[in-house]
Amino acid sequence: SKGGSGRSGRSAFVVVANRLPVDRVDTPDGSTQWRRSPGGLVTALDPVMKANKGAWIGWAGSTDEAPEPFDEAGMHLVPVPLSAKEVEEYYEGFSNATLWPLYHDVIAPPVYRREWWEAYVKVNRRFAEAAAETADDGALVWVHDYQLQLVPEMLRALRPDLRIGYFLHIPLPPVELFARLPWRQQILRGLLGADLVGFQRPGAASNFLRLTRRLLGYQTQRDQTFLPDGRVVRARSFPISIDVAQLEEIARRPETQRRAEEIREEIGSPAKVLLGIDRLDYTKGIGERIHAFAELLTDGDVTPDEATFIQVATPSRERVEQYKLLRDEVELAVGRVNGTHGRIGRPAVTYLHSNHDREELAALYRAADVMVVTPLRDGMNLVAKEYIACRYDNTGALLLSEFAGAADEFRQAFLVNPYDVDGLKTTLVDALRLDPRNATRRMRSMRRHLVEHDVDRWASSFLSALTGELRT
């Protein structure tokens, strides 16, 4: 620690997130190894982690006995155990069947169950206790996302000496929707344990300030909420980003270009390739885009030789009911369009329900003429940014939902309302028939913005808003 009087072995910088930034790899000899996950967050925080003996507290992703804290990839990792019942109630239940749909405009009906809330409280307390034991005197703790909204308040009660930041990666709904939550005051008080609460969009930060006035009766001014105990909590937007240089480097490799060409040949060398890459989630508007494309084929506005769709859907939260239903819906839609418009060896929509490495994703982005990003609601949407990062030659078109946080930053994209089928169809055709000069102009402007606003800038602007003192 800075003053030298630190608790020995503790960290001056602690990240608390539902998941650890490492993936478990079981080797053939039966031993367990850990590999750093490819995520942008861990890359962005790497320099801060290294300069401050950083620690990361999170769940290892299984219900097996949690390993003891260990050091890996320059970080101190503290696994938080979850029992099978806690995974069901805290993770699949309250986090992903209550909060996730409520915070995404109730696209799916949220389920409110008291025993899920109890599990959420209990698990949040476990994370807060682990953070309290790991943080050095006066350390800086950064708590992430909707799974851990009670941690800031719990942690402050245990360790008033800490500086606490919180960032919500998903949208925060307006009071009209948030007010339905039976535990709305507890959640707000949980978040207000932080000194700084960060959101993706300015609108979410204003929702938060309005919520603290309306549901807790607190005074606010500009970005500040005044608490009865005299503390002041700030709320601001910090749009997250990606490691642009790293992904662009992969996209520029000759083998990536070869793989991109191979992908186009394998799907029958259509004139144009449309691409969707998403977790299989009902917020992503996957069905909407497939229906719009199918109608274009049926109407004859687009022919199967002219354009082929590739949809990559990452398996996600597969034991949650709404995700099972969605999978059936999407797969039925894909089967229909291929049955009607496909030919032998030439599906209209190539659909993959699988995970892929960064290299394969970069090749897909390089292979796509039109990137189709149509969420019904999305905190940010990093896929849109990844596509732009890979288009270093200023080619390609981005079709982007106005309901994704990314729409605030990319006004040069083909912006759409995914609920408007006709609008979606016309915009798809516009993007498919975009002339190269216009494409270059749009992509160049989007890339200029992205290159200036990468994930390092996101992390450092949040952290410097939280404290000017942290060494990076």
CB half-sphere exposure, 5, CA atoms < 13 A: 3
Query: What residues between 294 and 323 interact with ligand ADP by CB under 6 A?
Result: 312, 314
Q: DSSP for 143-164?
A: EESGGGTTHHHHHHHH-TTSEE
Pairing type for strands 272-279 and 307-314 reads parallel
Cβ closest to ligand ADP, residue 314 vs residue 460 = 314
Cα 404 from Cα 382, distance rounded (Å) = 10
Which of 134, 338, 381, 401: binder of ligand ADP (CB under 6 A)?
Answer: 381
Q: Which of 108, 162, 106, 109 is nearest to 132 (CA)?
A: 162
Q: Is 66 helix (H, G, I), strand (E, B) or coil?
A: coil
Q: Which two tokens stand for residue 55?
A: 């620690």
Binding mask 450-469 for ligand ADP (x = CB under 6 A): --------------------
CB atoms within 10 A of CB 212: 24
| Residues sharing a CB contact under 8 Å with residue 58, sequence separation 6 or more, in sequence order | 15, 16, 17, 18, 19, 20, 21, 77, 78, 79, 80
Query: Shortest Cβ distance from residue 390 to ligand ADP (Å)?
Result: 11
Cβ closest to ligand G6P, residue 316 vs residue 472 = 316
Q: Closest CB to ligand ADP belongs to which residue? A: 382
Query: Shortest Cβ distance from residue 387 to ligand G6P (Å)?
Result: 17
Query: What residues between 317 and 356 interact with ligand G6P by CB under 6 A?
Result: 317
Pairing type for strands 224-226 and 397-401 reads unpaired
Cβ closest to ligand ADP, residue 128 vs residue 380 = 380
Cβ closest to ligand G6P, residue 272 vs residue 317 = 317
36 lies in the site for ligand ADP, by CB under 6 A: no
- The listed partner (ligand G6P, ligand ADP, none) that binds 19, CB under 5 to 8 Å by sort, is ligand G6P
Cα 38 from Cα 362, distance rounded (Å) = 13
Q: Which two tokens stand for residue 21?
A: 């930034």
Which of 380, 397, 398, 466: binder of ligand ADP (CB under 6 A)?
Answer: 380
135 lies in the site for ligand G6P, by CB under 6 A: no
Q: Is 118 helix (H, G, I), strand (E, B) or coil?
A: helix
Q: Which of 23, 214, 180 is nearest to 112 (CA)?
A: 180
DSSP state of 69: P
Query: What residues between 190 and 209 interact with ligand ADP by CB under 6 A?
Result: none
At residue 384, what is the residue type?
A
Query: What residues between 291 and 320 interact with ligand G6P by CB under 6 A?
Result: 316-317
Torsion angle in degrees (nearest 10) through CA of 200, 323, 17, 409? -20
Which of 46, 136, 145, 278: binder of ligand G6P (CB under 6 A)?
Answer: 145
Torsion angle in degrees (nearest 10) through CA of 273, 279, 284, 286? 50
Which of 41, 78, 170, 370: binder of ligand G6P (CB under 6 A)?
Answer: 170
Q: Closest CB to ligand G6P belongs to which residue? A: 169
Query: What residues between 6 and 35 interact with ligand G6P by CB under 6 A?
Result: 18-19
Cβ closest to ligand G6P, residue 20 vs residue 130 = 20
- The listed partner (ligand G6P, ligand ADP, none) that binds 382, CB under 5 to 8 Å by sort, is ligand ADP
Count interface residues toward ligand ADP (CB under 6 A): 12
Query: Shortest Cβ distance from residue 416 to ligand ADP (Å)?
Result: 17
At residue 360, what is the residue type?
E
361 lies in the site for ligand ADP, by CB under 6 A: yes
Residues that bind ligand G6P (CB under 6 A): 18-19, 145, 169-170, 316-317
Interface residues with ligand ADP (CB under 6 A)?
277, 279, 312, 314, 355-356, 361, 380-383, 386
